Amino acid sequence: MPMPYRFFVLVFLCCLCLSAQGQQGVWDKAASGKKSKSKVDKKVKGIKKLRDHIKQWGLEDEYNKGLLVGGRLNSNGWSGGVYYFTKSKPGVYNVWQLHFAEIKHEKQVKQQAVSTSFTDLGEPSPFVFGKINNLYTLQLGYGKEQVLLPGVVEGNVSVAFRWNIGFSLAMLKPYYQRLIRVDNTVANPIATLSEEKYSEENAELFLKSGYTLGGSKWSNGLDETNLVPGVYAEAAFIVIPAPSKGFVQAISLGCNGAFYTKPLPILAEVKAYRYQVALFAGLAIGKKWK
């Protein structure tokens, strides 16, 4: 082959090689671009998934309703109640609450009656000196419970805040004592036993422990119970030690305050107020379902 033709063939082959390499580079760049875009999409999806997970962190509770029963130790007595829950949205629940409580005055002290010379009247028994009424309350209300610190993994502690407001009914039941009445108008004094509640007429005798043989049975005065309406408000932190499927166990720490239409006397010669305030610690157990 003549020299000029060889030269042109060589130039043609070189151009072909360069063109193929250029085309391969374009394909490589396109493939690389697709891979980069795919990686970006995966990262975006991952970030969205993480964001949604954080937003719903520990709130993925499949149960929509719950029922709890429990008891409390109050700074002014004790109480027991029932709670019914319905889910409003993740981490937020509607709460209906019914509570019964016995209220005790901070100054009341139970003591043992001393024996007397009138042994035929019976054995002495414990009583609360100066007590004029047993006080009980029944509260019915509605509120909300908001999860503050959810338990991410089963077995973790979760914390919620609960508030509740509603109607409160105070029940004042007269407190009866077994009083010793002595007739000194005869030569040989005669002692009789009388079950009485506090009144202005017997105040002097009622407030002398030496003339009290003990407290009467609880049912005395039940038909004389005085009802006093009012309102209440309550706030508490709820700690759930170990969430489990279907079963609920909760510890509550909070405060309850109530206001009534008239004062609620418990002890004689101690000023009575229209309101009652108490701190409490309680434990409740129950069941939840879909």
Q: Please check whether residue 142 lies inside any domain of the structure.
A: yes
Confidence of residue 122 (pLDDT cuts 50, 70, 90): confident
- Whether 60 is in a domain gets the answer no
93, β-bridge pairs: 87, 145
pLDDT at 58 (0 to 100): 47
Shared domain for 90 and 45, answered yes or no, is: no
Query: What integer pLDDT is reported at residue 240 of this predicted model?
Result: 85
Average pLDDT estimate for 207-231: 92
Asked if 10 and 85 sit in the same domain, the reply is no
In a domain? residue 247: yes
User: Are residue 50 and residue 97 in the same domain, yes or no?
Assistant: no
Q: Residue 6 above 60 pLDDT?
A: no
Q: Are residues 69 and 106 in the same domain?
A: yes
- Separation CA 82–CA 46 (nearest Å): 44
Is 281 within the bounds of a domain?
yes
> Is residue 49, in this structure, part of any structural domain at all?
yes
- Which of 18-22, 193-197, 272-276 is predicted most confidently? 272-276
| Better-predicted residue by pLDDT, 245 or 57 | 245
37 and 133 housed in the same domain? no
Domains in the chain: how many in total? Answer: 2
pLDDT of residue 57: 46
| Per-residue pLDDT tens digits for 69-109 | 999 999 999 999 999 999 998 889 999 999 999 999 999 98
Would 14 be classed as within a structural domain? yes
- CATH at residue 142: 2.40.160.20
**Residue 219 contacts by C-beta under 8 Å, 6 or more apart in sequence?**
none
Same domain? 205 vs 281: yes
> Rounded CA gap, 44 and 199, in Å?
80
Give the tens place of pLDDT for each residue, 43-64: 656 566 545 544 444 455 677 8
In a domain, 114, yes or no: yes
Question: How far, in Å, CA of 78 to CA of 83, rounded?
Answer: 17
> 273 and 176: one domain?
yes
Q: Is residue 13 part of a domain?
A: yes
Alpha-carbon 31 to chain mean position = 61
Asked which of 55, 74, 100 is the last residue of a domain, the reply is: 55
Are residues 73 and 167 located together in one domain of the fold?
yes
Across the range 174-191, mean pLDDT stands at: 83
Residues 2 and 120 in one domain: no
Beta strand 110-112 with 126-128 is antiparallel
Q: Let me know: does 176 contact 196? Beta carbons within 8 Å.
A: yes
- 92-106, 187-201, 274-288: least confidently modelled range: 187-201
Where does a domain end: 27, 55, 83? 55
pLDDT band at 9 (very low <50, low <70, confident <90, very high): very low
Reported as a pLDDT band with limits 50, 70 and 90, residue 191 is confident
* pTM for this prediction: 0.76
Give yes or no for residue 142 having a pLDDT over 80: yes
Judged on CB neighbours under 10 Å (0-12, 13-18, 19+), 36 is: exposed
Region 228-238: mean pLDDT is 97
Give residue 20's pLDDT.
Answer: 52
Same domain, 155 and 245: yes
Residues 76 and 12 in one domain: no
Model confidence at 137: pLDDT above 80 = yes
Domain that holds residue 251: 65-289
What's the whole-number average pLDDT of the chain? 82
Per-residue model confidence (pLDDT) at position 19: 54
Mark whether 135 and 176 lie in a shared domain: yes
Q: Please state the rounded mean pLDDT for residues 101-121.
A: 83
